[in-house]
Amino acid sequence: MVNTISGGFEGEIYPVNPRGGTIAGRKVYRSVAEIPAEIDLAVVTIPAPAVAALMPEFRKKGIRNMLLISSGFGETGKDGKQLERELVKAARQAGVLVLGPNTMGISNPHIQLYCTGSPVIPQPGSTAMVAQSGNMGIQLLAFAEQQGIGIRAFCGSGNEAMMTIEDYLDGFEVDSLTRTVILYVESIKNGRRFFESARRVGKKKPIVLLKGGQTKAGKRAAQSHTGAMTSDTRIFNAVCRQAGIIKVERPMDLLDLAAAFSSLPLPAGNRVAIMTLGGGWGVVTADLCAEFNLDVPDLTPELISKLDRLLPSYWSRSNPIDLVGERDTSLPMTVVEELMKWDGCDAVINLGIMGRRIMVKRFGQFVLKADSKYSAEFIDQLNRQFLEFEETYIQHIVKLMDRYRKPIFGVSILPDEKNQTLYRVGDSPFKGVFYPTPERAVQAYAKMVEYQHFLDRP
| Mean of pLDDT values over 317-323 | 93
Q: Is the pLDDT of residue 218 over 80?
A: no
pLDDT at 26 over 60: yes
- pLDDT grade, residue 229 (50/70/90)? very low
CATH architecture entry for 38-97: 3-Layer(aba) Sandwich (3.40)
Examine the pLDDT at 317 and tell me if it is beyond 50. yes
Start-to-end C-alpha separation, the chain: 49
- Start-end ranges of CATH 3.40.50.261 in the chain? 105-263, 272-456
| Euclidean distance between CA atoms 148 and 160, whole angstroms | 29
What pLDDT is stored for residue 381 in this prediction? 83
pLDDT digits (tens, 9 = 90+) for 344-375: 999 999 998 887 777 777 788 888 888 888 88
Of 123-127, 215-219, 388-392, where does mean pLDDT reach its minimum? 215-219
- Find, among 112, 207, 143, 223, the residue nearest to 422 by Cα: 143
Query: How would CATH label the architecture of 105-263?
Result: 3-Layer(aba) Sandwich (3.40)
* Peptide bond between residue 124 and the one before it cis (omega within 30 degrees of 0): no
Quick: pLDDT tens for 31-52: 999 999 999 999 999 999 999 9
User: pLDDT value at position 134?
Assistant: 86
Cα angle 200, 406, 175 (rounded to 5 degrees) comes to 30
Task: Quote the pLDDT of residue 373.
Answer: 85
Residue (of 240, 237, 124, 453) closest to 445 by Cα position: 453
List all residues 6 or more positions away from 258 whose beta carbon is below 8 Å from its beta carbon.
Answer: 127, 129, 144, 149, 180, 182, 208
The H or E element containing residue 173 is: helix 165-174
Q: Which residue has the higher pLDDT, 366 or 435?
A: 435
Q: How far apart are CA 332 and CA 335, in angstroms?
A: 5
Cβ atoms of residues 447 and 248 within 8 Å: yes
CA atoms 137, 258, 181, 270: torsion sign: negative
Residue 215 reports pLDDT greater than 80: no
Q: Which residue has the higher pLDDT, 224 or 260?
A: 260
In whole angstroms, what is the distance from residue 299 CA to residue 345 CA? 9
pLDDT of residue 225 exceeding 70: no
Ramachandran angles phi, psi of 99, nearest 5°: -105, 115
For all residues of the chain together, what is the average pLDDT? Answer: 91
- Where do you find CATH 3.40.50.720 in the chain? 38-97
Helical residues (DSSP H) of 177-232, grouped into ranges? 191-202, 216-226
Cα atoms in the Cβ-side hemisphere of radius 13 Å centred on 213: 22
Q: Would you call 289 helix, strand, or coil by DSSP?
A: helix
Instruction: Report how far residue 206's alpha carbon sits from residue 245's, in angstroms, rounded to the nearest whole number.
Output: 7
- pLDDT given for residue 394 in this prediction: 95
CATH of the domain spanning 272-456: 3.40.50.261
pLDDT at 227 over 50: no
